[in-house]
Amino acid sequence: MGKFDQEARDLLVAIGGKENVAAVTHCATRMRFVLNDDSKADVKAIEKIPVVKGTFTNAGQFQVIIGNDVPIFYKDFSQVSGIEGVSKEAAKAQANKKQPIIQRLIATLAEIFTPLLPAIIVGGLILGFRNLLEGVPIEALGQKIIDGVAATNADGSAIYNSITDVSPFWNGVNSFLWLPAEAIFHFLPVGVVWSVVRKFGGTEILGIILGITLVSPQLLNAYAVNAARADGSIKEWVWNFGSFQIEKIGYQAQIIPAIFTGLLFVFLEKQLRKVIPEAIAMIFVPFFSLLPAIIAAHTIIGPIGWKIGQGLSTIVNAGLTSSVNWLFGLVFGALYAPLVITGLHHTLLAIDYQLIADLGYTNLWPMICLSNIAQGAAVAGVILLHKRTMKNRKDDLEREEQISIPSLISAWLGVTEPAMFGINLKYLYPFVAGMIGSGLAGMFSILTGVRANSVGVGGLPGILAIQPKSWMNFFIAMVIAVVVPLFMIFVLRKIPALNKVDGVVEEIDSNIAREEETISTIRQTDVYPQETSLEVKVPLSGKLLPITDTPDPMFAERLIGDGALIDPDEGVLVAPFDGVVQMIFPTNHAIGLISKEGVELLIHIGLDTVKLDGKHFQGFVKEGQEVKTGDELIRFDVKAIKEAGYVTMTPIIVTNQDDFQVDNVKTSGKAILGEELFTATSIK
């Protein structure tokens, strides 16, 4: 009989029995099920199983959080159920088949854009700073200086201009910053084609080359096409083949042509590999897949994709500029947060960039920015509310603030998932309060014509991307996005249908206060033995962060335990204490250790890195092996993992949280190997 035999039987019944399981696998901490009917899973019953830390559904997989013991649990589950596990890729493929076609398309689009987000974010910041330099009027020494000549109005008064007009230094800075900005936004199709080819398993370097052929300097820049058609010079931009001609037009900032060009290339490459002998494949597969894709891009896909993109932006802009645009702003502003939950929000990046390419601005992105601010304000409302209602539950309040305060900061800097999943959806009424505030702020933004020159950081810094003439209106919209959720928190909390957890907190508090007094009295009897304490050392160098900053809610919300978070700068993981290797995953991306004092520690290198199937990881220990503090456990390639599109933030978690609590956690500064990271103290 296995260690988790009964728990495995209980889980099998709770998920709807063997006949409801289409596929099952596991990662370092979770059982991953693809169920034939998700509604048959009894979530409440599952979460009552002692070994289960929580559940959630993502990308068609029903995931049950077990923790460090998941390999053992998985074996016991396989034995009692008679279900053979499959590989993670097979489970993912099965889950994808289960999803509706729309969800699959959305998930695919999300996977294409996710690796590009770091570039898009930094590009937005750069363009926002250039906004300041070019758009903010100033008066330099009472006059404008151009080529050493003072310029004034007819009446002799000074002309107000941007700092780039009067300062050679800032003019140079502004000009220099266009170098990375142009590389990111004008040449975005290169990144898009690369990401498409990478996603579908094509040759990545050929994807990069294909993307460059869409934006080559040999081509007429997309932003100059309309003027060239108007003055007739477009006739000069052709490849002349005698009997026919092809226009030499670039596709700068065009998303749709890049996506479909990348898809065509991958299709051709895969089909050719099936029919061309391996001995000559190295020569002929790249040639006969790349060249036709380039030809198709400039004759069929590019022109049609451009028209589709223009049509899409025209439709969206019509809604944004119509007589009922206030309604569009209200509905879009309110519904953007739910779109984030579904993943559909990733599709809006393409629309934003199409609007910018066609119109030179986007009035959609300011509303996205306001939604992030509103969800953050809802978290701020919960913090203020619970300061009063949880005054007798200091431990609960402190634990929640470890999640809520970083979530608030994250949301106001443009990342709302920690706020929504960690706080707002947990209680529900804050989520609705944020939607109301976002809807009203979006309506005001549209009515006052707020426009952005680019996509930037979607929170408070987002004002940098807004056109300077719209700054005042956008500032008012931000105030609405903050004030309305703060007010609605206190109104909606009283509606039972919108309050999932909070309820009559004040009534509970008095009972908790009495319980705490009783517990305090018992503790004073000093019947407990002396505590056991262990210093857990820093296992890898890098940047120290709060565990609540982890993008994965499972770690951020401490569902499997408390601990620390390190963003590594070197790919060497060493033992943080003397102990035994309890578990090391076959892919070497995660390891479980147990100290001589009984502290069970999970170290998970990166997030979702299980999908790399061991690529870029090398393990040096095996299960059951004794290790000393500082012994090398795993090596990994930080740069390669990041380039593959994965976050390298590494949670270090004490998983037996019923036996040990985590204290004195370092959450900022430099993580230096061998220094104390936190203390694990036994709970008596």
Torsion angle (degrees, nearest 10) of CA 354, 360, 363, 365:
60
Distance CA 140, CA 157 (A): 12
* Residue pair 655/601 in contact by the 8 Å Cβ criterion: yes
Distance CA 15, CA 9 (A): 10
Q: Report CA-CA distances (Å) from 38 to 88, 212, 341, 408, 553.
A: 19, 44, 18, 32, 21
Distance CA 423, CA 376 (A): 10
For the record, the structure tokens of 369 come out as 């920015």
β pairing state of 238-240 and 245-247 = antiparallel
Distance CA 658, CA 384 (A): 30
β pairing state of 61-65 and 54-58 = antiparallel
* Residue pair 614/665 in contact by the 8 Å Cβ criterion: no
Distance CA 282, CA 557 (A): 49
Rg (CA), the chain: 29
Per-residue b or e along 406-432, where b marks 16 or more CB atoms closer than 10 Å to that residue's CB = bbbbbbbbbbbbbbbbbbbebbbbbbb
Contacts of 82 (CB under 8 A, 6+ apart): 18
247 sits in which H/E element: strand 245-247
Distance CA 20, CA 23 (A): 9
Q: How many CB atoms lie within 10 A of CB 260?
A: 20
* Chain length of the chain: 684
Distance CA 557, CA 404 (A): 10
672: helix, coil or strand?
A: coil
Distance from the first to the final alpha carbon of the chain: 30
Query: In 3D, which of 252, 256, 282 has the Cα closest to residue 269?
Result: 282
Query: In 3D, which of 581, 556, 582, 585 has the Cα closest to residue 653?
Result: 556
- Return the active site residues: 27
Distance CA 371, CA 471 (A): 17
- Which amino acid is located at 518 in the chain? T
For the record, the structure tokens of 266 come out as 């991958």
